[in-house]
Structure 1
Amino acid sequence: MLYLKTTLLALGAAFGMTVAQQSTNQAITLQTHSLYPPYIDDDLQNRWFDFGGDAVINTNKHVRLTSNRPSQVGYLWSRLPLTAANFEIELEYNVDGPSGHLFGDGFALWLSKQRMSIGPVFGSVNNFDGLGIFFDTYDNERSHKHSFPYVQAMLGDGYKYYDNDKDGSSTELAGCEADFRGKTVVTKARLTFYKDNYLRLELQHEKEDEWTECFKVPNVKLPDQVYLGFTAHTGEISDNHDIIAVTTKTLIPVPIEKQKPIPQTGKKAKSSSGGGGFLWFLFKMIAAAGIVGGMFVAYRMYEKSGNMKRF
C-alpha cells in the first residue's frame, strides 16, 4: 500500500508539473502536425503524415523533398486538417547544392484545403485555397527590386493564379529577402497565426537563436480547416530541399493589436488640419480686402487731384 501511494503521488506530481508547464508556456504541442526523426515506423509509414513523389526519407537526418537532380517533385502532407484557431509552426529545414550562381527552384510551406496534388507551384497545385509560404531561390522575371533567395506569402481563394514567370509578384501578400540557402547555421522558420489578429513569419538563418521578422500582416483570414504541407520542385536547375523537423503548437489568444494608421502624404496632411487651413484662408481674405481698399482710396485721390487741375 505504501508503495502504491508513493507511486500515485509521484504520478500526480509529474502530471501537475506537465500542466503547469503547459500553462506557463501557453502552448500545447500537436503531435498530429509535428514531425521528428526517424520520421517513419516499422511499416515504413508515418502515422500523421503522407509523403510521396520524389521525396526520400533518411531516418537519421531529414525528409528530402527533392534531390539535387533536374525535374523532381516531392511532397509531405499532414493526414488530418489543422483546426486550431491560434497556432505556431516551427520548421527546421535545409536547402543546399553545388556552389554556383544557378540553383533552384525552392520549396513551400502550405496551409491549404488541397493536399497531395502535384502541380506547378513549388510542386503543388495552382489556384489553391489557403496560405502558401514560398522559399524561392530562383529569379524567373529578372526585373525584381529585391534579390533572391526570397520568402513570399500568398493567400489563395481557389481562384487566384500564381504566375511562375513573374515569381508571384502580382499576388504577393508579404515577403522579405533572406539568404537561407547553403548555410552552416541551422535554418528555421516560425509561423505564428492568431485568428482575427495577425499572421507573422520569423526566420533564423544568420546566427543560432537569432530570429528576424520577415513580415507581420494583420487580420489574415484562413479557411476553417487546412492541411499542413511541404512541397518542392526542380526544373533544369536543382537543389536539395530538406525538411528536418516540424513542431506545431496551439496558442492561447492574445489581445488584438491595433492596426497602425497608414501614413498620409504631405498634401493630405495639410488638408486634414482644419484649424490651420481656416486661419490661412481668413488671412488671405483680409489681405485681399486691404489691397482692394487701398486701390480704391488711391483711385479717389487721383480723381480728386485731376478735378483740381481742371479748375
Structure 2
Amino acid sequence: MRFLSAILLAATAVTSFICAEAQLPMRTHSIAMPYIDDDLQNHWFDFGGDTIINTNRQIRLTSNQQSQVGFLWSRLPIVDDNFEVEFEFRVHGSSGHLYGDGFAMWLVKERLGTGDVFGATNRFDGLGIFFDTYDNERAHRHTFPYITSMLGNGMAVYENDKDGRTTELVEGCEADFRMKEFPTRGKLTFYRNNYLQLDVMWKEEDVWTQCFKAYKVQLPERMYLGFTAHTGEVTDNHDIVSVEAKSLTAKPIEAAPVVNVPKPKRSSGGFFSFIFKLLVAAGLVAVLFVGYRLYENKNRMKRF
C-alpha cells in the first residue's frame, strides 16, 4: 500500500509540474498596479501621448476629451511561438448615443508611432485588433461597439472611413463592452502554425465569449505588444487595468473546420449530349434543304 501511495503521489506531482509548465508567466509583457516604480517609469513598458497613470486604478490611454491619443508599448518583443495575453480594460464616458472612437491591441514587428488608426500609424506589419465604438461608414450590417481585426503587411492600409471592413482578417463580433459595472476582459491566444483566437468577457462577469478564431495566421517572429486609443469629435475614457501574458506549451495542430461548399452541377449528357445536339442540327439543315428543293421544283412547274 505504501508503495502504491508513493506512486500516486509521484504521479500527482508530475501532473502538477506538467500543468504548471503548460503556462509560464511572461513578466516582460505583463503589467498591473501600481504600474510605475519610484522613477515614474515601468521596467517593461513605455507609455506616452495623453496617457495618464493612476497608480490605484488604471492606465488611462485617453480621457473623455476631444483629440486625444495615448499608447502603452512593451519594451521587448515577444519571441515565444505560443502565448496568451489576457487584459482587463474599461471603456466609459458619456451615457448618450455619441462616443468613441475606441482602442486597439497590437502585435506588430515594430512599435508604432502615433497616428489615426486608433492612435497608431497606418501601414503596420503584424496584427491589429480594434475595439471600435464609433460607426464611421453607416452602412454596416452589424451594430457598434464592434471588435474587428486586420493582419497588416507593412503596405496594406486600414480605411478609417470604412471601419476596416475591406481589410478584415476574419468576421469580428458585436460586443457591448462600454459602461459595464463588472470587469471587462479580452484574451488573445496564439499558437504559431495553428490558430489565433480572441475571447471577450462582456456579457457578465466570469463568462467568456469567443469573438473570432483564425487558422494559419502568420505573425512576425518577434512582435511588440501594444495598446493605443484615440478620440476625435466624440470621446471616451479608454482604460487598461492590467495585462497578463503567459507562454504556452505547444499543442497538437488543430485542423480548420471544413466548410461545405455546394459543388457546381455538371452538365448532363457529356459527349453523347453533344452528338445528339449535332444530329438534331444536321437534321434541321436537311429538312430546310429538302424544303428549299421542293420550293424550287414547284416554281419550275409553274413556268411550264
Same fold (TM over 0.5): yes
Q: Distance in 1 between matches of 2:115 and 2:223?
A: 18
CA deviation vs aligned residue, 1:31-77 (integer Å, no higher than 9, x gap): 00000000000110000000000000000000000000000000000
Deviation at 1:156, TM superposition (A): 0.3
Matches of 2:243 and 2:16 in 1, distance apart?
A: 21
Contact 2:112 2:124 in 1 (8 A): no
Written as runs of structure 1 = structure 2, the 5 A alignment for 1:263-274 is 263-265=260-262, 267-268=263-264, 271=266
Q: Give the equivalent residue in structure 1 for 2:299.
A: none
Partner Cα distance (2:137, 2:180) in 1: 25
Give the CA deviation at 1:185: 1.9
- Paired residue for 1:80? 76
Sequence identity (%): 57
Q: How far apart, CA to CA, are the structure 2 residues paired with 1:166 and 1:91?
A: 27
| Corresponding residue pairs, total | 261
**Residues 1:245 and 2:222 aligned together:** no
Match of 2:214 among 208, 214, 217: 217
Given that 1:22 and 1:28 are in contact with CA atoms closer than 8 Å, whether structure 2 keeps it comes out as no
CA offset digits 1:94-146 (Å, max 9, x no partner)? 00001100000000000012215101100001000000000000000000011
SS at match of 1:91: strand
User: In the alignment, which residue of structure 1 is the partner of 2:191?
Assistant: 194
Asked if the contact 1:185–1:206 (Cα under 8 Å) also holds between the matched residues in 2, the reply is no
* Correspondent of 2:113 among 110, 114, 117: 117
Which residue does the alignment assign to 2:18?
23
Deviating 4+ runs (over 3 angstroms):
19-22
RMSD: 2.0
- Scaled by the length of structure 1, what TM-score is found? 0.80
What does residue 257 of structure 2 align with?
Answer: 260
Q: Which amino acid aligns with 1:233?
A: H
* Aligned match of 1:233: 230
Q: Distance in 2 between matches of 1:22 and 1:123?
A: 42
Mind listing any 5+ residue stretches in structure 2 that lack a counterpart? 1-12, 277-304
Q: Matched residues in 1 for 2:82 and 2:72: separation?
A: 22
Stretches of structure 1 lacking an aligned partner (at least 5 in a row): 1-16, 272-276, 289-311
Instruction: Give 3-state SS (helix, strand or coil) of 2:242's partner.
Output: strand
Q: Secondary structure at the match of 1:23?
A: helix
Give, in whole Å, the separation in 2 of the partners of 1:127 and 1:98: 31
Relative to 1, partners in 2 of residues 1:203 and 1:22: Cα closer, same or farther, differing over 3 Å?
Answer: farther
Task: Give the one of 185, 197, 200 matched to 2:182.
Answer: 185
Q: What residue in structure 1 maps to residue 163 of structure 2?
A: 167
Letter in 2 for 1:172: E
Q: How far apart, in 2, do the equivalents of 1:240 and 1:85 lie?
A: 33
Q: Work out the CA distance in 1 between the residues paired with 2:174 and 2:184.
A: 14
